Chain A
Amino acid sequence: MKRRDFIKAIPAAALAPTAVSTVTMSANAAPPKTATPQSGNTHVVEAAGKASSATSGSGEVPEFAEHILTSDMDGLGPDGKPNGQTATFSGASKANATADSASSKMELNDDEQAILDGKEGPEKAKLMKILVRFGETFGATKLADLGGAPHSNLYIGAPYLESLIVMLEQCAAAGLKAYAPYTVNPRPYDVYNVQNNPTEMQLIAEGYPLQMRLDAVHAQLGAPDLNFRSCACYIDDIGNAPKPGTPVAWCESSAVNYGNSVLGIRTNRYGAGMEMLCAMLGKAPVFGLMTDEGRKAKWLIDVKTSEEPDWGVLGTAIGRKCVEDIPYIAGVDKYFGGDVNNDNWHKLKYMGSATAAAGAVGCYHVEGVTPEPKEKGRDMLAENFQTYVFDDKEQQAILDTFENLWDDPDGNPTAVFIGCPHCNYEETIRWAKMFVDALDAAGQEKLAIPAYIFAPTVTRTRALLEEPELASRALGAGINVTNMCGVSYSGMKGFSQRVRAVTNSAKNRNYSPIRYFPDKKLVDIAVTGKV
């Protein structure tokens, strides 16, 4: 089967936007089919796995599913076939783990034990019990006191997430809060700047019936208002950038690997829900990427391209090669001038987010650029590391796997998507200027097709205040700044029938039927409306 011909997997961000369930789950709506097996008793399960033809509810797989593509480390190769990839998502493969040795015994301090014993209420005791069992599963022997602030990617009010949402509501009702005001991924839609049309409004209403409940419980647990929603929580305008070495528990693959790698914080790569549990306890088990050993690189990525690499292609290549193991990337320090700043950070953002989408990379080291290799050099390489050379030929080979997946592959593009993850202020302004300058050079007032720059609302507002002339010109030219999740928008029902999009994000390309192009080409496409 050709890659992406049918359902592959669900990108974390694209699960909800496409939901069209007409049957909303509720805690009492669907009793279990059989008694739940209990420890100490033996229950008999009848044969499962028989061919299934009948369904209840609305039955058939909704059509949007055909346009939801690959997912974080889905174990598929570029040809769409299973490649045997596995990962624990904890930052380091545990190929040698055995049943007898893999678990640990958590040593709790008096305060932690008191929580487990219920001294701070039954809800917190349950959370602690979960965390201890989870940590012991991955060999942790202690809990870290978390610092900085949490970041959550539980941002989709889809019906199937009700069980998690109810758990958060019960915690909020018990008076629990996160240990610090925290950040959350952007909403999966923007009904003000993009989706204020009847078709998409209806899809949003059907797809996110729990959105307000989720947003409300986040507010109760300590999240700031929706203007601060962003997947790039660490940019200046959002400000969730803990100091190097700070232990946190973040969830959002691109933020986790930017935080670990560029900020130097320490977080594992959590599944949605666990990060909120850690946030309410202010604790996380110490294993994987939170340990010195777990942050050592098993791969040396030797970049030998004749020019500056395409960062998204490089990230895709690394993700496919390393899966979840940490890469040590050499040969690119000259493109950073010795420092990561607001004008060049996006290179790491696009590379890193692609490693986490094509693979499950939770941390990467860039020689001469990111903090740990700057301090320790190649001591960050683990023993017996492997080497992967990324040269012009390899870059082209990876790029050649980026298929044209438009429903009408010969049609003209209809939209340009910039940013995924979110842009910061500098990148937003830079793209707006690039488009406007190109229009001026071409003698045009408006872009041939609309451009969407994905950035948080606070960044959009700042651009309006600090660059009013440019902002006005850009808006009139069809350049929109939207705060929603770009991947979610691309996962909307019928998206590929309505939109033939082009993007600068290899992450979004990994999840969606969007074509990937270099920056200059994207500007040209926006001005001319043609590839």
Chain B
Amino acid sequence: MAKTFKGRPIVPGNLEGEALVSKQPFNTTASYFTNMFAGNTKDAPCTDANNAELYKKDLSGAIMCTPQTVGSTMGAGAIMGMNLLGVGFKAMLFSGHIDSIAAGGLIMDDVWNDRKVITVDLLGDEFMEAVKTGDPISIKEDGTVEVG
């Protein structure tokens, strides 16, 4: 049965797809080593070995569901870099408050480069409890997210 959550749209948009879930905070820069340093533009295998849910899975084009992003203050540049390569997320859904590193990268890329990663935050802890990798996701531009 589908569950509906109402969050805050940071980069608004409509999208349907499947969830990719990281229950632990997603470490942006740790996850893209083959893209950042090895020139990989074909896919985006997660390189963060500490993230058991995602390690080695393809992040490219995913709808990422996670509490928040963490890691280096170069994360904003990494987000923009992945979008430039065409292997960035299609959407990021946060249960908690977006951090300033991700917010900077996502908003800069949206406004400056017209590259939109649909982003919703503050979906609440229940969102993370409910969503599982592979679940169908529907995102509305008002920040409504339907899972299942």
Whether the pair B72, A61 counts as a contact (CB closer than 8 A) is no
* Cα(A94)–Cα(B70), bound, Å: 15
Listed stretches A83-91, A240-248, A421-429; interface member: A83-91
Residues of B within 8 A of A102 (CB): 8, 97, 121-122
Whether the pair A23, B39 counts as a contact (CB closer than 8 A) is yes
* Cα(A99)–Cα(B12), bound, Å: 13
Within 8 A of A (CB), among B18-74: 18, 20, 24-25, 27, 29-30, 32-51, 54, 56-63, 67-68, 70-74
Whether the pair B17, A7 counts as a contact (CB closer than 8 A) is no
Whether the pair B78, A160 counts as a contact (CB closer than 8 A) is yes
Whether the pair A75, B24 counts as a contact (CB closer than 8 A) is yes
Interface centre among B32, B57, B77, B143 (most CB of A within 10 A): B77
Q: Which residue of A lies closest to B109 (CB)?
A: A163
Within 8 A of B (CB), among A434-475: none
Answer yes or no: A380 CB below 8 A from chain B CBs. Answer: no
Q: How many A-B residue pairs have CB under 8 A?
A: 341
Residues of B within 8 A of A159 (CB): 36, 39, 81
Tell me the minimal C-beta distance from B45 to chain A in angstroms. Answer: 4
Whether the pair B70, A36 counts as a contact (CB closer than 8 A) is no
Residues of B within 8 A of A62 (CB): 33, 37-38
* Cα(A274)–Cα(B61), bound, Å: 25
Give the contacting residue for B25; candidates A11, A25, A75; CB below 8 A.
Answer: A75
Residues of A within 8 A of B44 (CB): 52
Residues of B within 8 A of A55 (CB): 34, 38, 40, 42-43, 45
Residues of B within 8 A of A54 (CB): 42-43
Whether the pair A129, B50 counts as a contact (CB closer than 8 A) is no
Interface centre among B8, B20, B67 (most CB of A within 10 A): B8
Answer yes or no: A191 CB below 8 A from chain B CBs. Answer: no
Residues of A within 8 A of B49 (CB): 1, 5-8
* Cα(A231)–Cα(B110), bound, Å: 30
Taken residue by residue from 103 to 143, chain B's Cβ proximity to chain A (1 for < 8 Å, 0 otherwise) reads as 11101110111111010011110000000011000000101
Size bracket, chain B contacts: 35 or more
Whether the pair A39, B14 counts as a contact (CB closer than 8 A) is yes
* Cα(A160)–Cα(B83), bound, Å: 10
Within 8 A of B (CB), among A112-163: 126, 129-130, 133-134, 137-138, 153-154, 156, 158-163
Whether the pair B61, A85 counts as a contact (CB closer than 8 A) is no
Answer yes or no: A512 CB below 8 A from chain B CBs. Answer: no
Whether the pair A48, B36 counts as a contact (CB closer than 8 A) is no
Q: Which residue of B lies closest to A130 (CB)?
A: B111
Answer yes or no: B148 CB below 8 A from chain A CBs. Answer: no
Tell me the minimal C-beta distance from A89 to chain B in angstroms. Answer: 4
The interface of chain A, by Cβ under 8 A from chain B, is 1, 5-12, 15, 18-25, 27, 29-34, 36-62, 64-65, 71-76, 80-82, 84-90, 94, 97-100, 102-103, 126, 129-130, 133-134, 137-138, 153-154, 156, 158-164, 167, 251, 253, 268-274, 277
